[in-house]
Each structure stands twice: as structure tokens, then as C-alpha cells.
């Protein structure tokens, strides 16, 4: 396809052309925002290394029932409704790496943002959450 054909398509399909431009801009914005956010996303293998090297505190924001069905070994459960960066569990961890985890990675990204705003130095979140952890064939611990 050459430029003339592309231009003819754009003129003949203005709605599709606008949708394409809109989606492209949305993707570019999302990627730029990801580069400049103050906390870092981790893949499961990176989280394992951080736990082993720097004794990271893993805060699991899953509901209690979900946490008991399976969680990362050593993680601490805090219900999303009770999550507070000033919580006594977190108060002593301001200089340690803190990793927010949830089932799918959505709630933990918001929690990581709150931790960073509260002055935590090394803040991370598990991209994809426990689902990504399981997909990487890493073990989960059952029970409390």
C-alpha cells in the first residue's frame, strides 16, 4: 500500500481513520505515562529476585478468602478497603523495597502510587498480579 492509497482510504472512511488516530494516541500516552510513573512494574521473575536479594515486603491486597486460596510465600495480606500507607505493617518499611500485589495487577498499581506519594523510597507492583505469578509456574502458599 502506498501513501496515495492510504490517503484515499482515510478520505473514504473518516470514522475509521479517527478511531485509528485516537487509539494510536491512547497507546502512546499510556506508554509515556508508564515511563514516568514513580513506581516500577515487576515481572514475576524480577519479584523473586527482589525478595531474595533485598528482603522485599510483599503486600497482598487480595480479599482474605482469595489470599487463603493462594499467595506468594511471606506476603502480608491487607484488604484493599483497609490499605493505608501509614499502617503499622508498612510504617517500618519506608526504606525497604515494598511490592504491592493483587489478583490481576489493577488494585496493586493504585496502592503502589499511594505508597510512593506517602514517601516510600522503593515501590513496586507485580504487573499482572497473582495471575501472572501462576502463569510463570511459580508456587503459591495456601492458608493464612
- The answer to whether residue 34 scores a pLDDT higher than 80 is no
Q: What is the mean pLDDT of residues 46-73?
A: 92
Angle between helices 14-36 and 3-12 (to 10 degrees): 110
Which residues are CB-contacts of 66 (< 8 A; sequence separation ≥ 6)? Answer: 103
In CATH terms, the superfamily for domain 40-135 is Rhodanese-like domain (3.40.250.10)
Mean pLDDT of the chain: 87
Task: Please tell me the predicted confidence (pLDDT) of residue 47.
Answer: 94
- The answer to whether residue 36 scores a pLDDT higher than 80 is no
- The answer to whether residue 46 scores a pLDDT higher than 90 is yes
Task: Please tell me the predicted confidence (pLDDT) of residue 78.
Answer: 87
The structure's pTM equals 0.74
- The answer to whether residue 39 scores a pLDDT higher than 90 is no
Task: Please tell me the predicted confidence (pLDDT) of residue 144.
Answer: 76
State the Cα–Cα distance between residues 51 and 108, nearest whole angstrom: 17
Per-residue pLDDT of 112-133, as tens digits, reads 888 888 888 899 999 999 999 9
Comparison of pLDDT for 144 and 58, the residue scoring more = 58
Q: What is the mean pLDDT of residues 42-66?
A: 92
In the chain, what are the domain boundaries?
A: 3-35, 40-135
Amino acid at each position: 500500500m502506498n501513501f496515495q492509497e492510504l490517503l484515499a482510504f482515510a478520505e473514504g472512511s473518516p470514522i475509521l481513520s479517527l478511531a485509528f488516530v485516537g487509539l494510536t494516541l491512547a497507546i502512546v500516552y499510556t506508554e509515556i505515562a508508564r515511563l514516568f510513573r514513580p513506581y516500577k512494574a515487576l515481572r514475576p521473575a524480577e519479584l523473586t529476585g527482589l525478595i531474595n536479594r533485598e528482603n522485599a515486603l510483599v503486600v497482598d491486597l487480595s480479599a482474605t478468602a482469595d489470599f487463603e486460596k493462594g499467595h506468594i510465600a511471606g506476603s502480608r495480606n491487607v484488604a484493599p478497603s483497609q490499605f493505608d500507607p501509614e499502617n503499622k505493617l508498612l510504617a517500618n518499611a519506608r526504606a525497604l523495597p515494598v511490592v504491592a500485589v493483587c489478583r490481576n495487577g489493577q488494585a496493586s498499581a493504585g496502592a503502589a502510587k499511594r505508597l510512593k506519594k506517602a514517601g516510600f523510597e522503593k515501590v513496586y507492583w507485580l504487573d499482572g498480579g497473582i495471575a501472572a505469578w501462576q502463569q510463570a509456574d511459580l508456587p503459591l502458599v495456601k492458608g493464612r
